[in-house]
Amino acid sequence: MANHGAAALLLIASVLAAAALSGADARLTVRPNMAAALRAANGRFAVRPGTKVTLRRDAHGGYVVDVAAVPDLTCNTVRGVQADETCFSVAQGAGLTQDQFLAFNPNINCAKIFVGQWVCLDATTSA
């Protein structure tokens, strides 16, 4: 089983190394209200399972890590993907925006969607 926390840290380290080589300001800022989603492990931050991490540039050229817990979803409507369909065409056919479709299907890889793959078209959170 893959160690997603280690992969996330490796990705962040790679981005920081690229920024350092380019001469950009590579300081990370973790939003204080989001830091609760991280836990200390051996003096380093580790990402808990079920956590969405977004790395972006701030207005000053630095980097900001946004961390948010992914809510548990209960899918109410599912549909099997048909030949020649894409995430966009399935979402459009269901009257959903791409953002809504991706929120209902957080683990989908739209580049590798396949015939018969079950996708969620309506979901509710348990919170």
The domain that holds 95 is classified in CATH as 3.10.350.10
Instruction: Judge contact between 67 and 51, C-beta under 8 A.
Output: yes
Q: Which two tokens stand for residue 101?
A: 């479709």
Give me the domain span that covers residue 108: 73-125
Per-residue pLDDT tens for 14-73?
A: 655 555 555 554 454 444 444 444 444 444 555 655 666 777 788 888 877 777 666 678
Whether 64 and 92 map to the same domain: the answer is no
Residues 54 and 10 in one domain: yes
Cβ pair 56, 9 in contact under 8 A: no
* pLDDT for position 35: 47
With bands split at pLDDT 50, 70 and 90, how would you rate the model's confidence at 74?
confident
Answer yes or no: do 13 and 61 share one domain. Answer: yes
Query: Comparing C-alpha atoms, which of 95, 50, 51, 98 is closest to residue 77?
Result: 95
The verdict on 65 and 109 lying in the same domain is: no
- How far is the C-alpha of 28 from the C-alpha of 41, rounded, in Å? 18
